[in-house]
Amino acid sequence: MEELQASLQPRGLTLSTFPDKGRSLLAARDFYPGEVIISQDPYVCVPNNSLTESRCDGCFSKSNLKKCSACHVVWYCGSSCQKLEWKLHRFECQLLAKLDKERRKSVTPTIRMIVKLYLRRKLQNENVIPVTAMDNYNLVEALVSHMSDIDEKQLLLYAQMANLVNLILQLPNIDIKEIAENFSKFACNAHTICDSELRSLGTGLYPVISIINHSCLPNAVLVFEGRLAVVRAVQHIPKDSEVSISYVETAASTITRQKTLKEQYLFTCTCVRCNKLGQYDDIQESAILEGYRCRDNGCSGFLLRESDEKGFVCQQCGLIRNKEEIRKIASDIKALSDKALKCSSSGNLQEAIVLYKNIEKLQKEVCHPFSIILMRTREKLLEILMQLEEWKEALAICRLTIPVYESRSSFNLNH
């Protein structure tokens, strides 16, 4: 870690360890909103390929794809991406080509990440790929795995996946337990690589960026420029303070955020937002983000459950909303959502638009106008409309989301 510390110093950063969080990245000088704090190329990354969607292994694009003729698993958009990846894929390709057709189908993106991890370690050990202070396997070894905290079912799954990786790699002296531990490390350290519209393209392991801890009110944000991970300040970060990003959707209730953090990252967040759990402004924010709207369309109050559980009371005008009425609409929304998901994943986009519009209509009846649930439906609609180049309608959806973003920034100012 001394080498890493030395390479972070000229960037105005330093490493520290806290008893409750483990390693942390600190600012060794002031950073200002918009400024790049750190950027890193992935140690390994893979596109999120599935049976219905493929992307180029180099740039993650979806156009002009050709399958690697030897392994039939990996896709490229052209020779420049293929060349870029060849140093490693040359070895991966030989291993995948040896597998029978059925086994090849079980090589999921996660399995490929681990296979690539070991191949990269081997190529760095053999000096085929250069080693630097920010790009070496020691950084992967230092990542937290939470192996002692995960349940038996998950351990068993990791063991099965580790066996498959072992079968593919066929390296001498490989430790199955270490492979399983690397799966666990991926679960709490890997990042989803997104495009500028936050669409998920793939997964990458960025072992220096993984040192950055979480806050529900972060002072920095992680974005991607292609495969490059870039951390930018979103607030003034004074010298000696910790750099933090959010691992989860910040526009969620405290209970939802804490549940996700506990399940995926195995810790309980004690940030300033989480410490407000149960206080009036936390209850209000949670009810707006995930709760129901007032029966009176002209009222913007938030609803809380009545003590006798018959319904929900508007905290602004006192009107009561019946629980059964909400339950009925919620079940209609669920049925439509299942259909819409099927349509959009099978490429039936026109039908998906009709269904998402109906979902939005129903959600407008039950959800608070600034609800994150309604917002997600609109984001989905926007994504499909943009795919179909229906710009006018897409713009109309954007206009609906602006007031929600404005209200969110006022929430955050209150914290």
Ligand X SMILES: C[S@@+](CC[C@H](N)C(=O)[O-])C[C@H]1O[C@@H](n2cnc3c(N)ncnc32)[C@H](O)[C@@H]1O
Q: Does 20 bind ligand X (CB under 6 A)?
A: yes
Q: Does 211 bind ligand X (CB under 6 A)?
A: yes
Q: Does 357 bind ligand X (CB under 6 A)?
A: no
* Phi–psi pair at 358, nearest 5 degrees: -65, -40
State the nearest-atom distance from the C-beta of 7 to ligand X, in Å: 17
Q: Does 186 bind ligand X (CB under 6 A)?
A: no
State the nearest-atom distance from the C-beta of 300 to ligand X, in Å: 33
Kindly tell me which of 20 and 102 has the beta carbon lying closer to ligand X. 20
Structure token digits, residue 414: 């209150």
Among 40, 213, 253, 344, binds ligand X (CB under 6 A): 213
Structure token digits, residue 197: 């519209």
Single out the residue of 163, 197, 168 nearest to residue 183, CA to CA: 163
State the nearest-atom distance from the C-beta of 268 to ligand X, in Å: 7
Q: Does 13 bind ligand X (CB under 6 A)?
A: no
Half-sphere exposure of 213 (CA within 13 A, CB side): 23
Among 46, 71, 188, 333, binds ligand X (CB under 6 A): 188
Residue type at position 10 = P
Residue type at position 326 = I
Kindly tell me which of 84 and 266 has the beta carbon lying closer to ligand X. 266
Q: Does 220 bind ligand X (CB under 6 A)?
A: no
**CB nearest ligand X: which residue?**
22
The three-point CA angle 299-316-400 to 5° equals 35
Q: Does 265 bind ligand X (CB under 6 A)?
A: yes
Q: Does 189 bind ligand X (CB under 6 A)?
A: yes
Instruction: Give the binding-site size for ligand X (rule: CB under 6 A).
Output: 18
Q: Which stretch binds ligand X (CB under 6 A): 128-136, 138-146, 363-371, 393-401?
A: 138-146
State the nearest-atom distance from the C-beta of 261 to ligand X, in Å: 8
Binding track, positions 267-306, relative to ligand X; x by CB under 6 A:
x-x-------------------------------------
Kindly tell me which of 146 and 295 has the beta carbon lying closer to ligand X. 146
Residue type at position 354 = V
Q: Does 376 bind ligand X (CB under 6 A)?
A: no
State the nearest-atom distance from the C-beta of 248 to ligand X, in Å: 11
Q: Does 245 bind ligand X (CB under 6 A)?
A: no
Q: Does 154 bind ligand X (CB under 6 A)?
A: no
Q: Does 122 bind ligand X (CB under 6 A)?
A: no
Q: Does 26 bind ligand X (CB under 6 A)?
A: no
Q: Which stretch binds ligand X (CB under 6 A): 102-110, 142-150, 318-326, 332-340?
A: 142-150
Q: Does 39 bind ligand X (CB under 6 A)?
A: no
Alpha carbon separation from 215 to 191, 201, 383, 405 (Å, rounded): 16, 24, 28, 19
Interface positions with ligand X (CB under 6 A): 20-23, 143-144, 146, 188-189, 210-211, 213-215, 265-267, 269
